[in-house]
Structure 1
Amino acid sequence: MARVVIAGASGFLGSHLSEELRGRGHDVVALVRRHPAGPHESRWDPYAGVLDRDLVAGASVVVNLAGSPTLGNPHSRRWSTRLRESRVTTTRVLAEAVAAASRPPAFLAGNAVGWYGDHGAEPVDETSDSRTGTLMTNVCRDWQDATAPAVAAGGRVCFLRTAPVMDAASAPLKQLRLLFRAGLGARLGDGAQRMPLVSLRDWVGAVAHLVESDVAGPVNVCCPATPTNAEFTRALAAAVRRPAALAVPAPVLRVAAGRLSPELLGSVDVRPEVLRRSGYVFRDADVAAVIRTGLA
């Protein structure tokens, strides 16, 4: 049994991961921003430097999933600042606490496939470089760089380069399902761009697998077969039994989505090579399976 400390445990992904790890017999302690409700919670305030460093030092694994919502007003400077600071600050505070431990625990640091930037049709794995200077790519770079104290301390550090997690209870599938059921489903631009995704059960299973393994470094958490946007549009339309013949022209999308438009029009054909080599077996390997599971 491992003791796992999770920041962001009350969020959508964190709550499901906590349940899975407890089901596997692990002792999970959630870092919370309020008064603890019991022994399985510990108060922290990363912006004020409040953290039980002994708790971190005594953990087997520390997982950071904290951060403000990705969905927001792309034209808002306040939103984009909060997007970056909430991820960088929490990661840095935890990385420093991990580094200060006499025996640093493993650190699973949240991140996103946006780290790679637009790679066009080129396949992308964990050895690929980071390109372009979009909002999300820059956030992801700073987010990863904030782990530097833990990396320098020599402990096991994983960068969880996560694709959008598809589940009807959470964004983005929650909103997309409503649009497509209303007959407003549409491909983005020409639809040729690759868009990584992963089912909730595979995200949870993969991260639990990493908690229990000795894997270190970048890890792509995405389904093995990355669809194009057009393939995703057809699959979701078929799943909700509605047509999706519309298209949002790229120039319109650039205006509407602002600094987030490169994430919608850029192409990242991501492959989860590290997970596959380490023995993780995906339950939802392609877009049809991911959507079917997400809508079930």
Structure 2
Amino acid sequence: MAAGASGLLGRSLCRHLTEQGHQVTRLVRREAGAGESRWDPYAGFVDFGLIADADAVVNLAGSPTAGNPHSKKWATELRNSRVTTTAVLAEAIAQAPTPPAFLAGNGISFYGDHGTDEVSESSDSRGDALLTQVTRQWQAATVAASDAGARVCVLRTAPVMDAGAPPLGPLRQLARLGLSTRLGSGRQYFPMISLRDWVGGVSFALAHDVSGPINLCCPVTPTNGEFTRALADAVHRPAFLAVPAPVIKVAAGAMAPEVLGSLRAVPAALLEAGYRFQDTDARDVIAAGLSGS
């Protein structure tokens, strides 16, 4: 069972699981069609029987991260759309006689700014940046499921690089115009993952009983400067522009810490469990994203 199945990640995961022979029921907030079940998380409504019969529940629901960073309404919707859906599903899972596994969407922003230190799943969460606060509450909303004995896997997802969606789509267009731009000093670490490794990593976690938090990011995290250069090289254009940090702080508002903070994340849990990444560094990830792999 999957919530948030209409987004890039949800569509890709559902398609992959279906191709592997799994039966996937998509939770939707409109009239349900074939292979779907209607739910209303804000009213606390979901088919409890369907959840009880499921082997696993995957929640990828949430409003887009891209939005007006100066808007309180946007920030509230960003938070509520994630925390509410997770809490409703966790409570439903907890009521099942045999609770299904719960793979709960989350973000790599959980950790906050760690400078040049490598960050694994055992690292602490720092600071009070908006997305860091949201991811803490997002994870806390899974507690009912874990308290009931369900296997809970928290998907701490880095930006997924695919040419059909942000951030790679818009950045590719700028790069083609010769406008690849380093942000601030460019020395801050910027985790990312290819779409095929995100799908592969989540599918691996489903099949191998992985539990706890998992970092969904490529093994070698680039700096912002390295990523900018790699993208420019991929489209055969120069990269010499930079936006000063003070300008970013004003323009990006609540999202500035996500742009200027440094997070050298490593997918330690997946690597230790035996998952083999197809795309290990920024150049691999960009190449896969631009090719549609």
- Report the counterpart of residue 70 of structure 1 in structure 2: 65
Q: 2:33 aligns with which of 33, 37, 42?
A: 37
Distance, in Å, in 2 between the alignment partners of 1:52 and 1:213 is 26
Distance, in Å, in 2 between the alignment partners of 1:212 and 1:9 is 19
SS in 2 for 1:47: helix
Structure 2 residue 162 is matched with structure 1 residue 167? yes
Distance, in Å, in 1 between the alignment partners of 2:66 and 2:106 is 15
CA shift at 1:71, angstroms? 0.4
Q: 2:182 aligns with which of 187, 204, 208?
A: 187
Q: 1:262 aligns with which of 243, 250, 257?
A: 257
**Moved runs in structure 1, 4+ residues, more than 2 A?**
none
Structure 2 residue 100 is matched with structure 1 residue 85? no
Q: 1:128 aligns with which of 111, 123, 142?
A: 123
Distance, in Å, in 2 between the alignment partners of 1:257 and 1:35 is 37
Letter paired with 1:188? L
TM-score, normalising length: structure 1: 0.98
Q: 1:46 aligns with which of 41, 47, 58?
A: 41
Letter paired with 1:32? V
Structure 2 residue 274 is matched with structure 1 residue 287? no
Distance, in Å, in 2 between the alignment partners of 1:67 and 1:10 is 11
Letter paired with 1:105? P
- The count of corresponding residues between Structure 1 and Structure 2 is 291
SS in 2 for 1:141: helix
Letter paired with 2:31? H
CA deviations on 1:56-80 (whole Å, 9 max, x unpaired) are: 0110000000000000010011100
Q: 1:247 aligns with which of 242, 248, 261?
A: 242
Distance, in Å, in 1 between the alignment partners of 2:178 and 2:83 is 39
- Report the counterpart of residue 21 of structure 1 in structure 2: 17
SS in 2 for 1:280: coil
Distance, in Å, in 2 between the alignment partners of 1:218 and 1:180 is 34
CA deviations on 1:114-161 (whole Å, 9 max, x unpaired) are: 000000001000000000000010000000001110011111000000
CA shift at 1:10, angstroms? 1.1
SS in 2 for 1:224: coil
CA shift at 1:182, angstroms? 1.4
- Report the counterpart of residue 267 of structure 2 in structure 1: 272
SS in 2 for 1:160: strand
Letter paired with 1:231? E
Distance, in Å, in 1 between the alignment partners of 2:287 and 2:112 is 28
- Report the counterpart of residue 6 of structure 2 in structure 1: 10
Distance, in Å, in 2 between the alignment partners of 1:241 and 1:25 is 41
Structure 1: any 5+ residue segments left out of the alignment? none
Letter paired with 2:152? V
Question: Pairwise mapping of residues 172-251 of structure 1 onto structure 2 (< 5 A)?
Answer: 172-251=167-246
SS in 1 for 2:24: strand
Distance, in Å, in 1 between the alignment partners of 2:227 and 2:186 is 9
Letter paired with 1:251? P
CA shift at 1:181, angstroms? 1.0
The percent identity for this pair of structures is 60
CA deviations on 1:85-135 (whole Å, 9 max, x unpaired) are: 000000000000000101100000000000000000010000000000000
- Report the counterpart of residue 95 of structure 1 in structure 2: 90
CA deviations on 1:180-233 (whole Å, 9 max, x unpaired) are: 111211100010000000000000011011111111100000000000000000
Structure 2: any 5+ residue segments left out of the alignment? none
CA deviations on 1:27-72 (whole Å, 9 max, x unpaired) are: 100001111111x100001011221010001100000000000000
Distance, in Å, in 2 between the alignment partners of 1:212 and 1:28 is 14
